[in-house]
Amino acid sequence: MIWENHSLWLEFVFLSYPSNRDLCVLTFLGIILVYIFLLTGNALIMMAVWTETRLHTPMYYLLGCLSGLEVCYTAVVVPHMMANMLQSDRTIGLLACATQMTFLIGLGSADCFLLAAMAYDRYAAICHPLQYPLIMTLTLCVRLVVASVTLGLFLSLQLAIFIFSLPFCETRGIQHFFCDIPPLMCLLCANSHIHELSVLVAATLAIAVPFFLIATSYAFIVNAVLKINSAAGRSRAFSTCSSHLMVVLLQYGCCAFMYLRPKSSFNPKKDQFVSLIYIFITPLLNPLIYTLRNSEMKGTIGKILTRKCLSQYK
């Protein structure tokens, strides 16, 4: 019965891709260039955390897991976008669309939960430095990562089942580059208030709750840092947290704009622009911010690149 209302048409059509062939090729080249930098940067972070013994700490372990999530998160969408740039048939099956949305929202939500876990790690390190080794154990880190991914995928699966069990209108065109909640909600032929409320509840759990936890952690962090007598100590503490905070503000700002609002405010052009930020820019900034502002990470990545270059010349 769930799929009965979709029996006449089982495909959606993406309408936001350029129609000009030359523009599509240029856009494809731009996307693949950014994607290569994104994959390379996050892969280097994961390799650094994996290979360097001195980076085997909770902060870097969580950072490596965040990079892994960013790679998986973008892989759900970007290869499909590049394929659509080079072909005229820009359709996607109903089941494929539901699957793409499930993993996109699930991994994106896991990203938000993991950022909250990283904020808790900084809170424990700065506010309880003596108890930090006892608080942030490897076991707790593993549990936080597993809980983030599990909860994110659980919420997205429930949301996808809910949305794709509703009747869609005859219009098949998605005003977007991929299957996301706001453009799909515009195609529903059902009582929108109840459905918007359901989406808002899920978005609140995945976005607002972790952001509240992050804000609370940083309130305690700022209070603790201001009590440090040494100016160098305050500077180091703020520097350690500022990079994480920059990623958090960009990530949550884009997510809140996309999902914490009514369907009536959907604007295809603005939403497409914001979606490109959290699909490309945020995962790209993650390696840039954490490597350029961290001497230990820069040193380790430099060693990895040097070894790779030397091995090629042998």
CB 123 within 8 A of CB 213: no
Q: Would you mind telling me the total number of residues written for the chain in this entry?
A: 314
More confident position, 1 or 140: 140
Residue 173, beta-bridge partner list: 13
CA distance linking residue 214 with residue 243, whole number of Å: 14
**What pLDDT is attached to residue 39?**
92
Give the tens place of pLDDT for each residue, 169-217.
777 888 889 998 888 888 887 666 777 777 788 888 888 888 898 889 8
> Percent of the chain having pLDDT more than 90?
25
Residue 131, beta-bridge partner list: none
Looking at the predicted structure, is the pLDDT value of residue 9 above 60? no
All residues at 6 or more sequence positions from 295 whose CB lies less than 8 Å from its CB, including other chains: none
CA distance linking residue 138 with residue 144, whole number of Å: 10
Rounded to a whole number of angstroms, the distance between the first and last alpha carbons of the chain is 64
pTM of the model: 0.87
Q: Locate tokens 């048939």: which residue?
A: 89
pLDDT band at 106 (very low <50, low <70, confident <90, very high): very high
Quote the tokens at residue 223. Answer: 């209070």
Give the tens place of pLDDT for each residue, 231-289.
766 676 666 677 677 778 888 888 887 787 766 666 778 888 888 888 888 888 877 77
Looking at the predicted structure, is the pLDDT value of residue 2 above 70? no
**What pLDDT is attached to residue 229?**
73
pLDDT band at 309 (very low <50, low <70, confident <90, very high): low
Looking at the predicted structure, is the pLDDT value of residue 8 above 50? no
| Element spanning 147, H or E | helix 138-164
Domains and CATH numbers, the chain: 4-313 (1.20.1070.10)
Hey, is 173 helix, strand or coil? Answer: strand
Residue 13, beta-bridge partner list: 91, 173
Burial status of residue 125 (CB atoms within 10 A of its CB: 0-12, 13-18, 19 or more):
buried
CA distance linking residue 199 with residue 181, whole number of Å: 8
